Structure 1
Amino acid sequence: MAGAAALTSAGILPRTSLADWRPSATIRGSVPAPAGGSSDVMGRYLAAHLQTAWGQSAVVENRSGGGGTIGASEVVRSAGDGQTILIGNPGPNAIAYSIFKNMTYKAEQLQAVSNMIRIPNIVSAHPAAGVKSIGDLIAFLKANPDKLTYGSSGVGQSPHLTGAWFLQLTGLKMTHVPYRGAGPALQAALAGNVQILFDNLYPSLPQVLDGKLTGLAVTTPERSASAPDLPTMRESAAELARFDVSSWFGVFLPKTCPGEIVEALNQQVKLMLEREDIKKNIAAMGARPDYGTPQQFSDFVAAETTKFASIIDREGLHLDVQ
């Protein structure tokens, strides 16, 4: 069967069918985040699927740091032979281009293959705040400017930008308190050190279901199957009619990868997401499958990059990669 090297030859070769292409060496799934998070989980699901489907060893390598840009930059520099795959997310693949002044790669050096899942962010409140809905929060902030604080997992992270966009669209103010990760932010909210928390759906949702936090809304256009009683931001206020923020986890390859490899990997992502065991595992994460063609995913990522660039510019957030 034709290996990756053959696919990079001149155009005199006939187009390789999706069924024919196979990697010729170990597949490396680069996860630009620590072990245990959603990026890592999806990377391991994909690696296991590809190992079975393609009959080639597949490993996951965690390369955290720099808001995910360290792991992404390694994929950019890798050979375009289909052996190295990036499990991307909004940090290194949409937010980083606007927030970091010293980026080591450009968006056009990667090509989108397919998204895998989307997970809503969630807005919650400490019960003592007396805020039971987004409408309540807006009314309180209008009457009491700067009286509330909101926590997030860190400056420039998706939950922080969720809160920033909410305030931009409503013209209101809250003081942002960034923490070093989702865990410390959640603990601060549970202790009442911040009144409002913008977070990924997990780990906050169990605390909402237990009554330790009051759920106000999810941030995707549709309600979450994991919390169907929680309204969306769009439902909650006219100013938020176009609100749409999620944590998404998709697949990218170096731009130098031939189209045949991109299409073959896209097909395998689709097949993985159609498996009943994977559907069940994804649902348990509070996520929904979000397969798309390379063009659909590319268009989605471009729109996400534009959206976050606008939020970041209005906030004046410009950092250096650490």
Structure 2
Amino acid sequence: MTHQLSRRRVLTAAAGLSTAALLPRSSDAADWRPTETVRIIVPAAPGGSTDVMGRLLAAHLQANWGQPAVVENRSGAGGTIGTAEVVRQKGDGHTVLIGNPGPNAIAYSIYRNMTYKADQLQPVSNLIRIPNIVSAHPSTGIKSIPELIAYIKANPDKLTYGSSGIGQSPHLTFAWFLQLTGLKMVHVPFRGAGPALQAGLAGDIQILSDNLYPSLPQVQDGKLNALAVTTPERSASAPEIPTMREGAPELAKFDVSSWFGVFLPKSAPAPIVDALNTQIKAMLERDDIKKNIANMGARSDYGSPQQFSDFVAAETAKFAGIIKQEGLQMDVN
């Protein structure tokens, strides 16, 4: 969620659309089209991965549907402000949400005063998944998850770990690691990924749990030791970094990622859901989009509405369990 792509690159990619990229109308689902401007609500600030995927989708839909598609950034309160805006809209296909784990999986368990529920949204398809990464300051000498586990057991009070903030995906990633291995460490939360990374580079914290970017370039420069990525498979951007699952038997089912998918208001009828799903599939199959996704350190993750719905439900349950064991409760503010 913190990886930055310049808006110029996104708009340049969008400008590459042509009539040759138009999706054939080969099914009833593809026959539905909007009759006015499509709003793409991004519940985050411009520049991050949520925003990038929203702009790529907007450009694709505009070219294929023949109606303007505009991105509206509605950031704040962990993504819940923008998400609540979509929940309040009609399910007529003219308001689309780009969701992510924060407001669409974690928020339901961690916030006491949520303004919407999961069943008020209709999952359409995921777009991409990006691993999180766990790294260590070189001064620790720790270079792998087995070494980290051994060090914590031998030195239970020597290490601290940092993240972009309480309840954020990187925090819950490492909290789950500690829960599964039965280990304890002090968490040092920061106000965002940038300050957490700077503390990790300075050695103010010894272990950093972060999104793949911006940590990966620091790993490649030798400023941090990569211990593991958090997805079941290794990242194509850094295939030499092992997965958490490879680190210990207790981590055999470890799977955490930053994912970015598409939702509609729950009242959206099946033809609209299916038409949007069809366009997402077509977009993710384009070579230029594949290149953009690879540059983000991500992999595409298209699925049917039912597959994405099942995935989001599983993510929500997973994070609920981690949050409950951590005893975390916060207010939306």
SS at match of 1:199: strand
Shift of the alpha carbon at 1:80?
1.1
CA distance, structure 2, for counterparts of residue 308 and residue 41 of structure 1: 25
1:24 corresponds in structure 2 to 35
Residues 1:159 and 2:170 are matched in the alignment:
yes
Equivalent residue in structure 2 for 1:177, among 169, 188, 197: 188
The Cα offsets for residues 84-114 of structure 1, whole Å up to 9 and x where unpaired, read as 0000000000000000000000000001000
CA distance, structure 2, for counterparts of residue 80 and residue 219 of structure 1: 35
1:9 corresponds in structure 2 to none
Shift of the alpha carbon at 1:83?
0.4
TM-score by length of 1: 0.95
The share of aligned pairs that are identical, in percent, is: 78
CA distance, structure 2, for counterparts of residue 193 and residue 262 of structure 1: 48
SS at match of 1:116: strand
Shift of the alpha carbon at 1:146?
2.5
CA RMSD of aligned residues (A): 0.7
Bigger shift: 57-66 or 270-279?
A: 57-66
Equivalent residue in structure 2 for 1:99, among 88, 110, 118: 110
CA distance, structure 1, for counterparts of residue 62 and residue 29 of structure 2: 16
Q: Which amino acid aligns with 2:124?
A: V
Q: Which amino acid aligns with 1:113?
A: V
2:138 corresponds in structure 1 to 127
CA distance, structure 2, for counterparts of residue 307 and residue 34 of structure 1: 26
Equivalent residue in structure 2 for 1:277, among 285, 288, 297: 288
Residues 1:80 and 2:55 are matched in the alignment:
no
Structural mapping, 1:289-304, within 5 Å: 289-304=300-315
Shift of the alpha carbon at 1:130?
1.1
Equivalent residue in structure 2 for 1:234, among 232, 237, 245: 245
2:4 corresponds in structure 1 to none
2:272 corresponds in structure 1 to 261
1:318 corresponds in structure 2 to 329
The Cα offsets for residues 272-305 of structure 1, whole Å up to 9 and x where unpaired, read as 0000000001000000000000000000000000
Q: Which amino acid aligns with 1:282?
A: I
Q: Which amino acid aligns with 1:111?
A: Q
2:161 corresponds in structure 1 to 150
Q: Which amino acid aligns with 2:213?
A: Y
The question of whether the paired residues in 1 share the 8 Å contact of 2:30 and 2:274 is answered with: no
The Cα offsets for residues 27-52 of structure 1, whole Å up to 9 and x where unpaired, read as 11001111111000000000000000
Equivalent residue in structure 2 for 1:139, among 142, 150, 157: 150
1:60 corresponds in structure 2 to 71
Shift of the alpha carbon at 1:18?
2.1
Shift of the alpha carbon at 1:19?
2.8
CA distance, structure 2, for counterparts of residue 132 and residue 18 of structure 1: 50
Q: Which amino acid aligns with 2:159?
A: L
SS at match of 2:29: coil
Structural mapping, 1:204-243, within 5 Å: 204-243=215-254
CA distance, structure 2, for counterparts of residue 25 and residue 232 of structure 1: 45
SS at match of 1:19: helix
Give the unaligned 5+ runs of structure 2. Answer: 1-26
1:251 corresponds in structure 2 to 262
2:123 corresponds in structure 1 to 112
The Cα offsets for residues 205-237 of structure 1, whole Å up to 9 and x where unpaired, read as 000001000000000000000000000000111
CA distance, structure 2, for counterparts of residue 59 and residue 108 of structure 1: 26
CA distance, structure 2, for counterparts of residue 272 and residue 19 of structure 1: 14
Q: Which amino acid aligns with 1:269?
A: I
CA distance, structure 1, for counterparts of residue 162 and residue 194 of structure 2: 11
CA distance, structure 2, for counterparts of residue 129 and residue 26 of structure 1: 54
SS at match of 2:210: strand
CA distance, structure 2, for counterparts of residue 46 and residue 34 of structure 1: 16
Shift of the alpha carbon at 1:17?
1.8
SS at match of 1:223: coil
SS at match of 1:98: helix
CA distance, structure 2, for counterparts of residue 225 and residue 28 of structure 1: 33
Corresponding pairs, count? 307
1:34 corresponds in structure 2 to 45
CA distance, structure 2, for counterparts of residue 174 and residue 146 of structure 1: 7
The question of whether the paired residues in 1 share the 8 Å contact of 2:30 and 2:278 is answered with: no
Equivalent residue in structure 2 for 1:46, among 47, 57, 72: 57
1:11 corresponds in structure 2 to none
